[in-house]
């Protein structure tokens, strides 16, 4: 996850998940080694084709430089999910949009897969879970 963990974007701001480097050069830094890069690209393309209104302002400064009031005014109030469970809740909360962009069948499959994954790893100890996850690399 990117530094700070806030949902937002900014000009040359590496502390946010979306960074505008130049007018037509953007970086998106919310994926990790366990994510499906094809689904990520499909979602990014889908987001550009079925865009939601932008409610977060350009945070050109490092987010810790802003006061709480400034962050509130800019819309920098929402945190990125910090667990798989929280991420799935976010997906379910935005289900209509996700179904429209990636397809209901894919979202149904993905949610079932990740819930099964959570069920499996929740029964493991820390060392066993770590070795299980590392076995995929």
Instruction: Name the nearest CA neighbour of 9 among 68, 91, 80, 69.
Output: 80
Instruction: Name the nearest CA neighbour of 92 among 119, 65, 112, 63.
Output: 112
Ordered by start, the domain boundaries in the chain are 1-80, 81-137
- Look at residue 2 in the predicted model and tell me its pLDDT: 47
In the predicted model, is pLDDT for residue 65 greater than 90? no
Output 75 or 2, whichever has higher pLDDT: 75
Tell me the per-residue pLDDT of 26-61, one tens digit each, with 9 for 90 and over: 999 888 777 888 999 999 999 888 877 888 999 988
Tell me the per-residue pLDDT of 72-96, one tens digit each, with 9 for 90 and over: 999 999 999 989 999 999 999 999 9
In the predicted model, is pLDDT for residue 103 greater than 90? yes
Q: Model's pTM, two decimal places?
A: 0.81
């Amino acid at each position: 996850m990117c530094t700070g963990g806030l949902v937002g974007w900014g000009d040359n701001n590496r502390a946010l998940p979306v960074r505008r480097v130049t007018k037509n050069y953007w970086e998106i830094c919310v994926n990790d080694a366990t994510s499906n890069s094809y689904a990520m690209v499909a979602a990014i393309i889908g987001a550009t084709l079925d865009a939601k209104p932008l409610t977060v302002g350009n945070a050109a400064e490092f987010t810790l430089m802003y006061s709480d009031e400034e962050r509130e005014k800019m819309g920098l109030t929402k945190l990125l999910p910090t667990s798989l469970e929280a991420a799935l809740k976010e997906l379910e909360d935005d289900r209509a949009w996700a179904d429209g962009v990636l397809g209901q069948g894919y979202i149904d499959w993905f949610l079932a897969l990740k819930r099964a994954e959570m069920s499996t790893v929740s029964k493991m100890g820390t060392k066993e879970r770590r070795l299980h996850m590392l076995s995929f690399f």
